[in-house]
Structure 1
Amino acid sequence: MSPGLAVGLVIVVALLVLSLATGEYSILSHDDGWEMFRNVRIPRTIALVLAGAAMSMSGLVMQLITQNRFVEPTTTGTTEWAGLGLLLVMAVVPRPGILMRMSGAVILSFIGTMVFFLLLRRVSLRSSLLVPIIGMMLGAVVSAISTFFALQTDMLQSLGIWFQGSFTTVYRGQYEVLWLVLGVVVAIFYYADRLTAVGLGEDIATNIGVDYRRMVLIGTGLVAIATGVVTVVVGSLPFLGLIVPNLVSMRRGDDLRSNLPWVCLVGIGLVTACDLISRTIISPFEIPVAVVLGLVGAVVFIALIIRHIRRS
């Protein structure tokens, strides 16, 4: 482990310890303090780790597949497709379990992401900035369909809650499905070299013996699983997959395998820091972490666009 990575690990661990210690309920002065700590704070902190790592790495995978630094699940409509899948399951099946909701979100995430990729293949792009614009337009269309459907089925309030992006509903018995995204993280590490080849383009990947289309399907499936699971448990975490890979690559270059530990650490650290701000900025109340993350992400997104325009 490099000294820089060790320092980053220490900082992230410190943030996670601070997350465990933060809360309006005093676990030291109440008899049920340990139970509260075990049932709420530990699950919430684990969710921060899993969601932060998974969504950051999902953004990195999408950027490799599209060869565009401005894409991630919330700028390609993937999150909106996951919400539509969740809504359809809730409308068809009364009181579905979390696994069924997750399945609906994952399936629609995969379909929606593939629709986005197929759309890119049919559109002549003169600028890389058009890619996230197309993705956000597609996401807006899907979001409008979801809103209309939610109005017709009297689930508009539920739809708003699902997309608020908050860890307040994460507690023991409701977060365990998030462990599935650990498999996504492991799979991305395993396929790192082949995903790097995919990022070089179809011709180069094929010439060095990588099945380009198969890897695109695998990468899309991994992104769909991560997005669907996180959307069901936490909600939308905007721009996380955009901010982290770009910050890491600007500092360290584009070596995917060596960047993956940094992407994990920075993603976990960023979402934990934003969560701490959301819990303390208007204490004793709490705002959704998506609000803080969205503000940070919007600033970084604009900065990246300006940087790209100046280089062009």
Structure 2
Amino acid sequence: MRKLPLTLATLCVLALIAASLLVGGYHIDIPALFTDPDARSMFFISRVPRTLALVFAAAAMAVSGVVMQMLVQNRFVEPTTTGTSEWAALGILLLTLYLPAAPVMVKMIVASLFAFAGALVFLGVLQRIALRSQVIVPIVGIMLGTLVSAVTLYIANSTELLQMLAAWRSGGFSSVVRGNYEPLWVVGLIVVALYFAADRFTIAGLGKDVATSLGLPYRRIMFAGITMVALATGVTAVVVGFIPFLGLIVPNLVSLVRGDDVRSNLPWVVLSSVALMIACDLVGRVVVFPLEIPATVVLGAVGATVFVVMILRQRGKAYV
């Protein structure tokens, strides 16, 4: 009986996946998959890769949010509120400028390295300032991200790559086709690794002193966590672009309902993130059909609203 809610949630996500596979500008129904070669070709070249990209990108950002929140001991952090995504954007821009013909794997490695550097800078700054409120942490991250973003915009404007940068930041999935989404399979390995190392991240989230007293190699866990976040952010950035707030709002809502056990929460976090990502994509495709609003625009509106509510709720508790 305990597994029944999770089974129902999985069925709901599968229903959303089926809807994503059948919705689009090119009409494809189930009978056409067996009778129309063009429809079948379009289905496997465009619809299936796009839906898989939605699933993997959502899982990537959700896992990144969980790891960052445990390591920093703050519920308001994820790659878009710590500047990690902005560092990945800077890496992609510089690679485009100096090595435009670089293969996808090289782009993924460079974006991950820059994301890793950004996470280290963020953690280094946190260690040197006095934190009197949890709200200060995301503010510091947003400030660092804004600074890096300003440098990125200046370089893009100076080199006439502003349009490319804007297209990347839109985070749309309309250009995802077979042959350019496959790096996102790496995210599946990261999710599996996090599941098996969940207990260690839970202990690390209690703080350095507690983790060390329990015999946990704290620095090694921190390095592994930052590496996971950097890989997930870098791969997602290369394939689909900028995905805001997803790793922030979903882990918090799941923790609010189920507590802070990372291992038991992880399936719910992944399923909820996938459901939210696909729902935002479907809204973007249906509202102005046959045109399309990028899924991240819809997600940004939802995520920003929830983020502000969380900040106000935390501020209200501080005054109680």
| TM-score (norm. length: structure 1) | 0.98
Percent pairwise identity: 51
Match of 1:296 in 2: 302
Q: Shift in Å at residue 221 of structure 1?
A: 0.4
Q: How does 1:197-276 map to 2 (within 5 A)?
A: 197-276=203-282
| Counterpart in the other structure of 2:25 | 24
Matched, 1:114 2:120: yes
8 A contact 1:88–1:104 mirrored in 2: no
Instruction: Report what 2:3 is aligned to.
Output: 2
Matched, 1:49 2:50: no
State the SS of the aligned residue for 2:127: helix
Query: Does the Cα contact within 8 Å between 1:15 and 1:273 map onto a contact in 2?
Result: yes
The corresponding residue for 1:74 is 80
Name stretches of at least 5 consecutive residues in structure 1 with no aligned partner: none
Structure 2 counterpart SS, 1:74: helix
Shift of 1:27: 2.5
Specify the alignment match of 2:175 in structure 1.
169
Letter in 1 for 2:70: L
Distance in 1 of aligned mates of 2:156 and 2:110? 16
1:126 maps to 2:132:
yes
Equivalent-residue separation in structure 1 for 2:272 and 2:100 (angstroms): 39
| Residue 60 (structure 1) aligns with | 66
Task: Tell me the residue number matched to 2:197.
Answer: 191
Cα distance between partner residues in 2 of 1:16 and 1:119: 41
Q: Give every structure 1 segment of 4 or more consecutive aligned residues whose post-TM-superposition deviation is greater than 4 Å.
A: 28-31
Alignment coverage as a number of residue pairs: 312
Normalised to the residue count of structure 2, the TM-score between the two structures is: 0.96
What is the aligned partner in structure 2 of residue 282 from structure 1?
288
Deviation at 1:94, TM superposition (A): 2.9
Distance across 1 between alignment mates of 2:55 and 2:18: 12
Q: Deviation per CA, 1:155-181, whole angstroms, max 9, x where unpaired?
A: 111111111111111110111111111
CA distance in structure 2 between the partners assigned to 1:234 and 1:278 by the alignment: 15
Q: CA deviation at 1:298?
A: 0.8
The one-letter amino acid paired with 2:21 is L
Task: Summarize deviations over 1:76-118 as a string: whole Å, max 9, x none.
Answer: 0000000000011111113211111111110000000110001
- Local SS of the residue matching 2:81: coil
Shift, 1:205, TM fit? 0.5
Q: CA deviation at 1:31?
A: 4.3
C-alpha contact 1:75 1:135 (8 A) present in aligned 2: yes
Look up the equivalent residue of 1:308 and give its one-letter code. Q
Which runs of no fewer than 5 residues in structure 2 stay unpaired? Answer: none
Q: In 1, distance between residues paired with 2:297 and 2:150?
A: 21
Separation of aligned partners in 1, 2:235 and 2:96:
15
The separation in 2 between residues aligned to 1:188 and 1:268, in whole angstroms, is 17
Structure 1 distance, partners of 2:98, 2:275, is 38
1:201 Cα deviation after fit: 0.2
What's 2:97 paired with? 91
How many angstroms apart in 2 are the aligned matches of 1:152 and 1:185? 39
Select which of 152, 160, 175 maps to 1:154. Answer: 160
Letter in 2 for 1:129: V
Tell me the amino acid that sits aligned with residue 138 of structure 1: L
